[in-house]
Amino acid sequence: MSSPEPIKFTDGAAYERFMAPWSRSAGTLFLDWLAVGPGLSWADVGCGNGAFTELILAKSAPSHVSAIDPSDAQIAAARQKLSAKQVELSVGDALALPYEPARFDAAVMALVLFFVPDPKKGVAEMVRVTKPGGMIASYTWDVFGGGTPPQPVWEELEAMGKQTARPPSAAISRFAALKALWAELGLRDIETRELVVERTYADFDDYWLSMVVSNPGGVLGKLSEAEIAELKRRLQDRLPASATGKITVHAWATAVKGRKAA
């Protein structure tokens, strides 16, 4: 059996339907937990279509945000929604940030670190571009704890004998791995927290469109019509609906923060 293709977020519109609502819910909890003051300069590494960047603007009143992502399409989608003068959007690599040392007060990765091929190098880059005393933080879905939003889809596909793609650096989503990495890079005042969120879909069709049709792994294109029908039946049986047909699903993320030594 061939290996599943890696997950890639290159379609801003599909990402908006598939993951952005989840990202906003977890991102709101994350920013509340970071509790940094207004007027700071931020690096938003792996900004995608700008969903988390919007939250930084709305909740943290930054003086400036440099948001970067490897996908041209995602940056194009972000530019359509972000017109604030204090936001700088660019295409670039988390492993080689195009910023001078000690530029930012805070550097963050929102649902990104487990997609970075070399998490240690990615976090080291955030440390490099952050000022002494500044905040370096990240959150990712708890892959091994079953907290990822598409977990029901993954599990039902695997029950059908189909391989599914996990983030390439999924091991970094464990609390122990996060704390060890932050400590290895010399960060201080390290804290972790679980972020639990939920999303309610209008009905099963809404869930199917959001979490299966819009899935960046192209799930439906790899299934026969009979297999698609089976997957749909399995998910309908699995996901309880309210009296009005609404479906509520929970997810949870592992978050970490620390400060660069002064």
pLDDT at residue 5 greater than cutoff 50? no
13 — pLDDT class (breaks 50, 70, 90): low
Q: What is the pLDDT of residue 3?
A: 41
19 — pLDDT class (breaks 50, 70, 90): confident
Query: How confident is the model over 154-177, as pLDDT tens digits?
Result: 999 999 999 888 899 999 999 999
Q: What is the Cα–Cα distance from 130 to 249, expressed in whole angstroms?
A: 36
Q: Which of 256, 238, 105, 241 is CA-nearest to residue 182?
A: 256
Of 239 and 51, more confident? 239
Q: What is the pLDDT of residue 217?
A: 72
Q: Mean pLDDT throughout 234-249?
A: 96
> What superfamily would CATH give domain 12-149+165-198+252-259?
Vaccinia Virus protein VP39 (3.40.50.150)
Structural domain boundaries in the chain = 12-149+165-198+252-259
Q: What is the pLDDT of residue 221?
A: 86
Q: Mean pLDDT throughout 244-258?
A: 97
User: What are the distances in angstroms from CA 147 to CA 19, 126, 150, 243?
Assistant: 13, 25, 9, 26
Of 30 and 49, more confident? 30
Residue 91: exposed, middle, or buried by beta-carbon count in 10 A (0-12, 13-18, 19+)?
Answer: middle
Q: Which of 230, 235, 116, 247 is CA-nearest to residue 172?
A: 116
pTM for the model stands at 0.89
Least confident of 57-66, 72-81, 100-109, 115-124: 72-81
Q: What is the pLDDT of residue 16?
A: 76
Q: Please, where are the H alpha helices in 101-258?
A: 119-128, 151-159, 175-184, 204-208, 225-238
Q: What is the pLDDT of residue 6?
A: 43
